[in-house]
Structure 1
Amino acid sequence: MKKHLLLLSLSAGIFAFSQDTKTDAPITDTIKAWSIQGQNTLMLNQAAFSNWIGGGANNVGWLAGVNYNLTYEKGKDLWENVIILGYGQNNTKGIGTRKTQDVINLSTNYGREFAKNWYLSMGASLQTQFAAGYEDGNNPEAAKISNFMAPGYLNVGAGVTYRPNDNLTVTLRPANARWTFVLDDALQYAGTDGLKNDGDSSLFQFGFLGTAIYKLKIMDNITLTNTGSVFSNYLDHPERLVLAYGGILNMKINKFISTNITLDILYDHNQIRRTQLKQTLGVGFAYNIENGKKRSENKDNQSWLKK
């Protein structure tokens, strides 16, 4: 009987030891290949007047947008995806509703590292807008000058990407195909967007495309995101560069409230032969998403955005 009790005690001890060993086993690395960073915003503005000698018109406006960066990084592979959507309106008494913001910007870029911070890459991007735009401040009674996919720009190309950290990405594509689409029948006869003939729905170009994204922390709660691009068409007047710059200044008040100031500058000879400028300012709600952060020796993964 004593022998049986001894064997039972030894067995229980071994079982308990094995359970402790299993519990104390090292936790597997939870660093994820995917990281997701996004900001959802809803900006509101309003003004009201009653017997105000200085004059003024009652108005209310809103602007909604999302800005997401989805990145896959594992070994020598790097795959970055950007989703930027924004739309806003303002309604002024006596004037009506006008569009204040309208943007669709989607891009993807895959790279394979061949040297430190340098990647052989290929990717695509699409830029257009949601709704029609009109002359005279988007007055629907005025002439229409733009619409969804009129114009729309599709770029597909290959080249190299330089990415020393998550705050700077520069992509150079010496081989880039660029399609300009005008899918609104009425605008195909407007003589704009570089279409060769009336009734054409697209224009093909082939040339060099360079893009850059640089994120700068100005203060603890103030960040500036800069984007720029340049395109040169090898096939026709390569000196007529398409130049674009976009800046977003984000001033974070607290976890859910922030102020955004945006500035967009564009020059495209095929649209109008003048510099185009757009600026917006809004105060409202902002909700940030940060998931799947990676930590490595040479990438800080925009940790300053968490402050």
Structure 2
Amino acid sequence: MQNFFAFVALLISIFLLITPPALSQEATEISRLLEKDSDISVRDMSNVNSKVVVSDTLRGWQMDWVSGINGSQASYDNWSQGGVNTISVTASTVFNAKYRKGQFAYALGTNFKYGKSRLEGEGTRKTDDRIAVNNKFSYLFEDERWSAFGNINFSTQFDKGYNYAEEPPVVISSFFAPAYFTQIAGISFQPEDYFTAEAGMAMKQTIVSDTSLSTRYGLDPGKTFRFEPGYSLAMNFEKKIVSNVRLVSSVETFTNLQRHVDQTDVHFSNELIGKINDYLNMSFQFVMVYDSDFSRELQIKQVLSAGFSYSIL
């Protein structure tokens, strides 16, 4: 339990300092995938880009829709230092809609992402997989830094995920296994455009459509559904830190009222997004997750990518 609280304290300290993580070379990510020998996107609870904030200057509707494709390739032939031939591609599409009329505001954020990598001698493996839909309803108080809000969120993945450490590889996730619905009602504080803090009562529903995976995600054997009442805390930060580079960072927690506090779910996300020009971009994503239902150990994900993006709206 002391280790858990130390971990939470460390996350909050890092978040408040807003210190961007150091970038690593793409080869580090490929090496980590081989060493871990498992899918790196098994337990991505939410998406850092789906945090939609309605500006206090907005009137009516505002929409944006960006799609992109990122890739990497490495090839070696008689190379003395050695290496693994690889090719990877990730496609994504992000749609945001915001609305405000008087004291009422609404925000919708969707993020779909799917990626695969082919490693010579290892076959094709999933490197990213996300379906996330977030809805936020807000009522702004007289002091517009404060508001009452209600969130309705959903997340799952498209495809099966495997643990390649076992032979043959074992399925550890699939479409709607797991899937998460969360509803949160509470108070939000936004002292600056780039920072928001939220606290509220929450309900969380976990769906595992494949009963062979039920116990892996904290459900009783053979069960497909679990309901959890609790409370949630969150902080979100999004700001341009240098020219053409934006940092998006968030820490979110969910505490089940029926369980000990050391089993609180914690999701800490960071993404650095660098815009090369209107169409080319680079990004570095670093995510840490603590979820005692899935594992008592930290889950860590890091992805460095470059690619093409296009604004549809």
TM range (shorter): 0.7 to 0.9
Q: Which residue in the other structure is 1:192 paired with?
A: 216
For the pair 1:135 / 2:163, whether they are aligned, the reply is yes
CA 168–37 in structure 1, closer or farther in 2 if over 3 Å, else same: farther
SS across alignment from 1:186: helix
Deviations 1:97-136 (A, max 9, x none): 0111111221111011123221122121112111111112
Match of 2:23 in 1: none
- Paired with 1:140 and 1:184, the residues of 2 have a C-alpha distance of 21
Instruction: Report which structure shows greater RCO (CA 8 Å, sep ≥6).
Output: 2
Helix, strand or coil at the partner of 2:212: helix
CA drift of 1:90 comes to 0.5
Equivalent residue, structure 2, for 1:283 = 306
Corresponding residue for 1:258?
Answer: 281
Q: CA deviation at 1:34?
A: 1.2
- Structure 1 CA distance, aligned partners of 2:199 and 2:61? 24
Aligned AA for 1:156? Q
Structure 1 149/166 Cα, relative in aligned 2: closer, same or farther at 3 Å?
Answer: farther
Alignment-mate amino acid for residue 91 of structure 1 = R
The TM-score, its normalising length taken from structure 2, stands at 0.76
Matches within 5 A, 1:1-307: 32-116=59-143, 117-136=145-164, 141-173=168-200, 175-188=201-214, 191-195=215-219, 197-288=220-311
Please identify runs of 4+ aligned residues in structure 1 that moved more than 3 A: 163-166
Residues 189-227 of structure 1: CA distance to partner in whole angstroms, max 9, x if unpaired? xx22111x2101111110101223210211120011112
Q: Are residues 168 and 148 of structure 1, via their aligned partners in 2, closer, same or farther at CA, if it must alter by over 3 Å?
A: same
The 2-side partners of 1:39 and 1:149 are apart by 25
**Residue 297 of structure 1 aligns with which residue?**
none
What one-letter code is carried by the residue in structure 2 that aligns with 1:205?
E
Identity of aligned residues (%): 28
- Given that 1:134 and 1:140 are in contact with CA atoms closer than 8 Å, whether structure 2 keeps it comes out as no
Cα deviation for residue 58 of structure 1 reads: 2.1
Return the offset for 1:245.
1.2
Is the alpha carbon distance of 1:39 and 1:271 closer, same or farther for their aligned partners in structure 2, counting shifts above 3 Å?
A: same
Q: Please, which moves more after superposition, 161-170 or 141-150?
A: 161-170
Higher-Rg structure is 1
Q: 1:277 to 1:100 in 2, by over 3 A?
A: same
Q: AA paired with 2:194?
A: N
Report if aligned partners of 1:167, 1:214 keep a CA contact under 8 Å in 2: yes
Over residues 230-253 of structure 1, what are the superposed CA-to-partner deviations in whole Å (9 max), with x where a residue is unaligned? 111112223421000111111111
CA drift at 1:140: 9.1
Task: Give the deviation of 1:261 after TM superposition.
Answer: 0.8
Q: Give the partner amino acid of 1:253.
A: I
Counterpart position of 1:14: none
Q: How many residues align?
A: 255
| 1:21 counterpart residue number | none
Taking structure 1 as reference, are residues 243 and 170 closer, same or farther at Cα in structure 2, changes over 3 Å only? same
Contact 2:211 2:221 in 1 (8 A): no
Using the TM superposition, give the Cα deviation of residue 169 of structure 1 relative to its aligned residue in structure 2, in angstroms.
3.0
Instruction: Tell me how far apart the structure 2 counterparts of residues 157 and 219 of structure 1 sit (CA, whole Å).
Output: 34
SS in 2 for 1:192: helix
What residue number does 2:37 align with? none
Contact 1:136 1:142 in 2 (8 A): yes
